[in-house]
Structure 1
Amino acid sequence: MSQTIDHYFEAGRDILLEVGAKTDNSRPNIIAFALDRKGRLLAVGFNSYSKTHPYQKRCARKAGDQYKQYLHAEISAIIKSRQQVHSLVVVRISKAGDFMLAKPCKVCYLAIEEAGIKNVYYSS
């Protein structure tokens, strides 16, 4: 892993701990960073348990998992990006701040493939 990727893992944990402290959500927090070819930040996405998006719904249906309609962090970051995304960094933490497995689901992998994203890094 490059230092840039490590930086995003640490930044993701810090952001999620701050956001988690302000919410009553009992689910693990997930954040995704969309990066360009040079590792510059293009967009940030969070999991939403109340919002959806037509692209999320389309990918969910296409992947055969129509119940995953609520906006995932990976797809949120892809949607918000205004340029070609080269890499995606996905971070998931427990309430205690420990890294957890953040491997994208099949719905998100479909969106990642459609977007032509070359590299996906996720916490474990």
Structure 2
Amino acid sequence: GFVWESPWGPSVPGLTEVMRSHSLLQVAAYQWFVSVSCALAFPIVCPTARYLELRYEELIAKPEDHIRHIQQFLGDQYDSEGVLERVNIMAGGYTWRELMSPEELSDVEAIAGHTLRLLGYQ
């Protein structure tokens, strides 16, 4: 099995405890759940802050439109060709669900199912 040496990824509350008793997939699902929950709460907690929500699937579907939107949001003027090339490389053409067993899907559902449905994932 996988041996944890130190926490990785987003630093989320309770991560060390979760790492002691859960699989790598469950830890990743927990990190995703906490990170996305915080991102969804941000505009409520900090209503005057500038905030741009970007969904991976939307970026992959229309990279030029979303890169342009990000540039406008940031007020930056830079060549987006390198960014677009990276986005196109990242677009794998599969969904994460296709890579998991029914048991793994059940683990993810138990941890992050409500948030996945809230965001429109099925």
Shorter-chain TM-score above 0.5: no
Larger Rg: 2
Which structure shows the bigger proportion of residues in strand conformation?
Answer: 1
Structure with the higher helix share, 1 or 2: 2
Structure 1-normalised TM-score?
Answer: 0.27
